[in-house]
Amino acid sequence: LVNGLTHLGTSISEEGYGPGLLSSVMVWIPLGILALLRVKDETAPKRFWIGFAIGVGINLAIAIITMKGAKLS
């Protein structure tokens, strides 16, 4: 879900098509929303939000590394 939203946000900010935009909008964003809705009903709230935060954190770290051109120094 977060990766799909990243692709969508990048395309909006750059005012053009970006790689992964179509699959993000058509597949990954809806699938991510459905998965979160299903898991939320079956998981304790604290556990759900911790898992959600970890997922967002991992995706943000990957986005930062990617935007820096994989240069960590």
Instruction: Using the predicted structure, report yes or no on whether residue 5 has a pLDDT greater than 60.
Output: yes
The pLDDT mean for the chain works out to 83
- Burial class (CB within 10 angstroms; exposed 0-12, middle 13-18, buried 19+) of 25: middle
| Other Cβ atoms within 10 Å of 39 Cβ, number | 13
Tell me if the pTM is above 0.85. no
- CA dist 24 and 8 (Å) reads 7
